Structure formats: structure tokens, C-alpha cells
Amino acid sequence: MGTFYLTEPYCFVRKESERLKVYKGKNCLKEIRVKDYARFFINEDSTLSTGALSLLAEKGIDVVYFSGSEVVGRFIGKENKNVRLRIAQVEVHLDEEKSLAIARNFVLAKIKNTRTIVQRFARRKKLDLSKTDLALKQLMKKCIQVKDIDSLRGMEGRAARVYFETFPQFIESSGFVFTGRSRRPAKDEVNALLNYGYALLRAELTGALSAAGLDPYIGFLHRERYGRESLSLDLMEEFRCVLVDNLITRIVNKKIIKPSDFIRDQGGFRLKDHARKRFLLEFDQRRIDKVKHEFLGRQMSYREILHKQAILLAKYIKGEMEDYYPFLIK
């Protein structure tokens, strides 16, 4: 099942039988079969009727409200009621050795996947990225040796800096400038795309973790902070460059998104509404692309892989697997 995106502002969604209808004024823009979707991403300026929310809750479908590239609210459908799994998750979170083991796998997977992406670009664009590749390789070795979470987070941060120092070489389209990673506000167009892509990925993983019975707010690499989905951020690490960064370099280099598709607002850049719709279409297409899951040994969509990784993590926490096996690309 997919994700429904309502990016059109000032819409009203109401229930009619087992379907939802999207209205703008008196005009019906779309009729939706609820059973086709696992979650709804909706512009904060749009409204759902009580009947629509009740139907979504009954079907176990989450509603995520976005303001620009930021998640501003979430309506959760039927939650997984696996209390024993939640207790086990807290116990692992409080166990420094077990937390470190899981967090190490997240970081190693992130760096391994980043190295693979760098190597691909080096071959495809005939770039000499050997220094970047070597630096990432050395950081992987150091990650294996660290004895605490803080040191591991330091290695992850260094790997991200090494990678993003190389990232401008992946951008071919004229008019786009990337001078380093910035979050809020996004200081350039590329960062605006990264921020939006990561927000979408985070929301997807929050839904996947909740469906697997895990608490998205109790992490291992990212420790607890009020209102932050720490476990979603943990699981994001192995997917950032694979799903989001790769997508952004493609749509920028193919001029699917152009510098004119952005506006500067409150000191930062953000996508115009029409360009956001285009980005969502590309993101959704990327999620249904299929790739081989090496551990599970079969082809599946990235959307399915996100859910499988949440399930694998839950199985490890319950003691049903000897280790957590992250998603790795080849």
C-alpha cells in the first residue's frame, strides 16, 4: 500500500461510504479508495472531517500534516498493542552494551552505503574520489573499535562531513550551489531538497516502526529528546544516501527541479507548491523502485524494505534474531 499526498492547500476531505473525497470549494478534486493507502501526507492548510478521520483510524491509517518541509502534526490510526515488545525496547535502550551494538550497525550501514554511492559516482562520472573512499573506509574501522555511543556519534558526524564535502561534485546542473549541509533554514536550494526528502523519509519510517510495534521515540544512536522520533532517525541512517541523496542528484542533474522552482523565505530556501508536487511524484516513484535485499535474498520495493527493516529490528529486540541486519546496497 502506498502514501497519499495532498499538497493542494485549502482543501476539505470528507467521508462518503468507504471512500474519501477531496473538495476545494464546491469542486471535487479527487476520490480516494482508502484501502489503497497506508498513510496520508496532507498540507497543514487542508482539513479532514470527523468522519474522514474516523474512517482512517478504523483502517489503521496514519495522517501526517506538513508545513512546507516540516512535519507539524500526526494523527495515528490503530496502534500496535505489543506491550512486551515496547518493554523489551526500553530494556535494550537502557542497556549500554546492547544499545551500542545496534547503533554501531546503523552507523556502519550508513557509511558502507555512502561508500558504495561515492564509488558509483566515481565510476560513472570518471571522478577521482579515492581520498573520500579511503577516509570513509578508515572511519568504518574506527566505528568497530569505539566503546561508547558518544564516540560512535562522533564517527558518524565525521563520515557525514567527509561525504558532504564531496557532494558538490555530484551536482552537474548549472545554477545549483551546495556549500555544505544546513538544516533550518536551508541556505541553498540543494539543502531545501535534502531537508524535505529527509522529512518525508522520517515520516515513512515512523509509520513503519509503529506498525512493527516499536516506539519511534526510543532510539539507540539518537538518544531521547522531547518530541523527537529518535528511533526513526536511527533507522534513517542506512537509507539517507540511498533513497534521498540519490534521488536529489538525479532530479537536479536531469533538470526535473530547477533553481527557479524555489523561493527564499525567512532567511532560507523552500520549494514552490508546484515543484513540491513534482518532487513528491519522484519520491513516490523512487519508493516503488525494486532492488535485491541481500539479507532476505529477494527483490522488493524500497517501500517494502523500509517496513522489513523495522520488522527485523523488532525481531532482534525480542530476542528472535542474533543480530540486527541493516539494509546494504551493492
- What CATH superfamily classification does 83-317 receive? CRISPR-associated endonuclease Cas1, C-terminal domain (1.20.120.920)
Check: CB of residue 121 under 8 Å from CB of residue 170. yes
pLDDT at 5 over 80: yes
Is 165 annotated in a binding site? The answer is: no
Check: CB of residue 317 under 8 Å from CB of residue 44. no
C-alpha–C-alpha distance, residues 246 and 160, integer Å: 15
Question: Quick one: pLDDT band at residue 120, thresholds 50, 70, 90?
Answer: very high
Kindly state the percentage of the chain with pLDDT values over 90: 63
Question: Quick one: pLDDT band at residue 246, thresholds 50, 70, 90?
Answer: very high
Check: CB of residue 203 under 8 Å from CB of residue 239. no
**What residue ranges of the chain are covered by domains with CATH 1.20.120.920?**
83-317
Question: Quick one: pLDDT band at residue 256, thresholds 50, 70, 90?
Answer: very high
Whose CA is closest to 301, among 216, 215, 239, 214? 239
pLDDT of residue 225: 67
Class of the CATH domain delimited by 2-75: alpha beta
Is 222 annotated in a binding site? The answer is: yes
32-36, 104-108, 118-122, 149-153: least confidently modelled range: 32-36
pLDDT at 1 over 70: no
Tens digit of pLDDT for each residue in 260-311? 999 988 788 989 988 988 999 899 999 999 999 999 999 999 999 999 999 9
Is 307 annotated in a binding site? The answer is: no
pLDDT of residue 183: 81
**Could you tell me the CA-to-CA distances from 229 to 29, 92, 166, 257, 287 in Å, in that order?**
33, 17, 29, 29, 21
Whose CA is closest to 108, among 165, 76, 155? 155
Whose CA is closest to 77, among 1, 146, 8? 1
Check: CB of residue 328 under 8 Å from CB of residue 315. no
Q: pTM for this structure?
A: 0.89
User: Is residue 16 within a helix (H) or strand (E), and if so which, with residue range?
Assistant: strand 12-16
pLDDT of residue 36: 84
**What residue ranges of the chain are covered by domains with CATH 3.100.10.20?**
2-75
* Phi, psi of 8, rounded to the nearest 5 degrees: -65, 125
